[in-house]
Amino acid sequence: MNCRECGQANPDDARYCLNCGSPMGTGPADEMAGSRPPDDRGAYGGFWVRVGAYLLDALIIGVPQVLAQIVISPETMVPRDPGDPMPATEVTWILVNVVVGWLYWAGMHSSQYQATLGKRVLGLRVVDYDGERISFMRATGRHFATILSGMILMIGYIMVAFTRRRQALHDLIAQTLVVRKEWLR
């Protein structure tokens, strides 16, 4: 079945276009009128509210990580000469921080709350194109796609201000939406 809006071919049982997110005809999409992606841009988390949520999460996760590192391996907190090799303990802390961040963001986005603590405070949730909770694997892909969003001069993040459904590059890659909680029923 082809989308009426963009012409993209989609599976016959698709409720929304995989390319543009538009409802696919009548039937199941109409039955889900309360949960389909809304047309109103105000239903989505905008750029600044998402920045605020990220800053809250950075504090929530970053402060305990730094405190743990200071207590367990204070020598890794001292600047070293650029020419010196990186000690194994420093490499270990980098890996620990990457894993903890991945488990926090992917775990919280795929949890029953559908949001990190920062997003919950600001009334946001991460959903798929049907308004449903995302899987841990999709949340993992979304999390690591944020690296790409940042690598291209942060343009992947800035896209939130300009896309129809306020999606960042990593949202487009993972086929997710960040919606305001009051939109979900």
The sign of the torsion formed by the CA atoms of 129, 130, 132, 136 equals negative
User: Cα dist. 165→47, 63, 76, 161, 175 in Å?
Assistant: 11, 32, 42, 9, 11
**Whole-number Å distance between alpha carbons of 152 and 172:** 15
Per-residue pLDDT tens digits for 140-174: 999 999 999 999 999 999 999 999 999 999 999 99
Report the distance separating Cα 146 and Cα 160, nearest Å: 13
CA 36 to chain centre: 19
Alpha helices in the chain (DSSP H): 28-31, 47-72, 88-109, 117-121, 136-151, 155-158, 169-174
What's the whole-number average pLDDT of the chain? Answer: 88
Evaluate if residue 34 carries a pLDDT over 70.
Answer: no
Q: How far is CA 29 from CA 32, 37, 135, 136, 184, in A?
A: 5, 10, 21, 25, 16
Residues 6+ apart with CB under 8 A from 132: 35
**Confidence (pLDDT) at 15:** 73
Identify the helix (H) or strand (E) that includes residue 177: strand 176-180
Greater model confidence, 23 or 108: 108
- Does 31 score more than 70 pLDDT? no
Q: Band of the pLDDT at 42, cuts 50, 70, 90?
A: confident
What's the pLDDT tens digit per position in 54-100?
999 999 999 999 999 999 999 889 888 888 888 899 999 999 999 99
